[in-house]
Amino acid sequence: MRSTEQFIIKKPLEFKTRLLRWAQQFDEVIWLDSNIYTQQYSSYDAILAVEAFTAIKTDHYNAFDQLKEYQESTSDWIFGYLSYDLKNDTENLVSENSDELNFPDLYFFQPKKIFLLKENILEVQYLRMVDDEIKRDYQEIRTLKGDNEADSSCGKVKISLKITKDEYKERVSEMLAHIHRGDIYEANFCQEFFAKDSCIDPLQTYHHLNEISTPPFAAFLKIEDCYLLSASPERYLRKEGQKIISQPIKGTAKRSLDVKEDMQLASDLSKDPKEKSENVMIVDLVRNDLSRTAKKGSVIVEDLCKVYSFKQVHQMISTIVSEVDPAISPVDVIKTTFPMGSMTGAPKISAMKIIENLESSKRGLYSGAVGYFTPNDDFDFNVVIRSILYNQEKRYISYTVGGAITAKSDPDKEYEECLIKAKAMREVLESIG
């Protein structure tokens, strides 16, 4: 079905930049970059998929059944995304908040051309219909000259808040009232920042965002006029053979330029009772979700509340694994765990209902997932956080940040944490023009 060739790349970092720039000629582009972040579960340093041969685009209604049929019938690599609002397919829920981005709820495509980079080895997989273009494309990428100049006609991006700080604090207080009543233990509450009648150069903006964050689950997605520029540090779910891996993030601390102070901030995070309780609650939720498809006794917590350091923040990450029966569809594994616990709360359905009532914007692709399925039914998906979303046709730019609200939450501190998480996106957008 696919022709494969391998090339040795002398300067992988330089080649990656050229490869992504070359990809901009296509209407469908997904770029996934680990930024060579050391991690236990990883197949490639970077992946590029371009040019749809077949595709599926749908709203939430029966979305997972349609995806399952598409994934099974295609029996090939497929790349795409799951928006948060697919919750309405898995549960009796709605999404009625405002949506200025208008991305489809689900989109996947079978690419004609795939590039898989690991260290200095580039593997190229083309569908047979275009395999005569492999060498030509490789030469074109290798000799691509100059940088793309950013679109200077866009001007300054003026960022607005969907809700004020006072409104945010009031809604956190409402969420705390739900927690004290026993409706929920924890919920992830998010707020949107946006710019109307604005434009950006998506590729330059992505490069800037990735440069200041260098996260392990970065993504650049282009589906016609819809763009995702993501500096995500979080994996949602991965399948390796029959092994399922989930790595939720809960717990955040700022970084410091002073080495001693920075080490202290990381140490304080590892011992913080509020942050640890947030993480443990979500670990319990993930264990429960994975158990729905796992072989009996196979759900194991490999790492609990381990602190990882990224350029912008320290994060507390846990790793939970399970084993599934080969007869279980990979799409069903995702369906029974979606949306991810780190972006919802516990109990999950109650938390999602309360989130819908208190948030002002439809989440859409934010807190959804981007990734791929392989021809042998493996998959890997990130969590869409620390991301800029852009509808080029509507000239609408958006980024959303949130945090876990628990009984120990302080509204002022939660708002401060949101601003820490928003820093990279704001810095990137405010530097434009």
Rounded CA-CA distance 2/246 in Å is: 30
Classify residue 276 as exposed, middle or buried by CB count within 10 Å of its CB (0-12, 13-18, 19+): middle
Do residues 39 and 317 lie in contact, with contact meaning Cβ atoms separated by under 8 Å? no
Q: Can you say whether residue 54 is alpha, beta or left, with left for phi > 0 and alpha for psi between -120 and 50 degrees? A: beta
Which of 250, 348, 362, 421 is the catalytic position? 250
Which tokens is 275 given? 């942050």
- When pLDDT is averaged across residues 163-177 and rounded to a whole number, the result is 97
Q: With a cut of 80, say whether residue 152 has pLDDT above it.
A: no
- When pLDDT is averaged across residues 303-328 and rounded to a whole number, the result is 93
| pLDDT tens per residue across span 40-79 | 788 999 999 999 999 999 999 999 999 999 999 999 999 9
- When pLDDT is averaged across residues 375-403 and rounded to a whole number, the result is 97
Rounded CA-CA distance 363/171 in Å is: 17
Which tokens is 48 given? 């590029």
Which of 192, 234, 278, 356 is the catalytic position? 234
Length of the chain: 433
pLDDT on residue 37: 83
Residue 96 is a catalytic residue: no
Q: β-strand 243-247 against 186-195: which pairing, if any?
A: unpaired
Q: With a cut of 70, say whether residue 149 has pLDDT above it.
A: no
Do residues 301 and 283 lie in contact, with contact meaning Cβ atoms separated by under 8 Å? yes
Rounded CA-CA distance 244/286 in Å is: 11
Rounded CA-CA distance 62/130 in Å is: 33
pLDDT on residue 153: 76
pLDDT on residue 148: 55
- When pLDDT is averaged across residues 214-234 and rounded to a whole number, the result is 96
- When pLDDT is averaged across residues 204-222 and rounded to a whole number, the result is 96
Q: Which fold has domain 2-430?
A: Anthranilate synthase (3.60.120)
Rounded CA-CA distance 86/93 in Å is: 9
Q: How many other CB atoms are there within 10 angstroms of residue 374's CB atom? A: 15
* DSSP conformational letter for 409: -
Split at pLDDT 50, 70, 90, the class of 147 is: low
Do residues 36 and 59 lie in contact, with contact meaning Cβ atoms separated by under 8 Å? no
Split at pLDDT 50, 70, 90, the class of 432 is: confident
E strand spans, 129-242: 160-161, 186-195, 217-223, 226-232, 235-240
C-alpha torsion angle, residues 289, 290, 293, 294 (rounded to 10): -150
Q: Which of 154-158, 241-245, 280-284 has the highest mean pLDDT?
A: 241-245
* DSSP conformational letter for 377: S
Question: Model-level pTM?
Answer: 0.95
Dmax (CA) of the chain? 65
Rounded CA-CA distance 102/223 in Å is: 12
Q: β-strand 243-247 against 313-323: which pairing, if any?
A: antiparallel
Residue 28 is a catalytic residue: no
SS3 content of the chain, % helix, strand, coil (to 5): 35, 35, 35
Compute the half-sphere exposure of residue 194: CA atoms within 13 Å on the CB side of its CA: 21
Q: How many other CB atoms are there within 10 angstroms of residue 47's CB atom? A: 23
Rounded CA-CA distance 431/236 in Å is: 30
More confident residue, 281 or 356: 356
Q: With a cut of 90, say whether residue 17 has pLDDT above it.
A: yes
Do residues 289 and 337 lie in contact, with contact meaning Cβ atoms separated by under 8 Å? yes
Give CA angle at 411 (405, 412), nearest 5°: 135
Q: With a cut of 80, say whether residue 294 has pLDDT above it.
A: yes
Do residues 186 and 429 lie in contact, with contact meaning Cβ atoms separated by under 8 Å? no
3-state SS class at 353: helix
What are the sequence ranges of the domains in the chain?
Answer: 2-430
Rounded CA-CA distance 177/165 in Å is: 18
Q: With a cut of 70, say whether residue 419 has pLDDT above it.
A: yes
| pLDDT tens per residue across span 89-127 | 999 999 999 999 999 999 999 999 999 999 999 999 999
Which tokens is 10 given? 């002398």
Beta-carbon contacts of residue 58 (< 8 Å; ≥ 6 apart)? 66, 104, 105, 106
Question: Is there a cis peptide before residue 339, judged by omega within 30 degrees of 0?
Answer: yes
Q: How much is the mean pLDDT over the chain?
A: 95
DSSP string, 257-295: SSHHHHHHHHHHHHH-HHHHHHHHHHHHHHHHHHHTTBP
- When pLDDT is averaged across residues 236-251 and rounded to a whole number, the result is 96
The pair phi, psi for residue 11, each rounded to 5°, is -125, 85
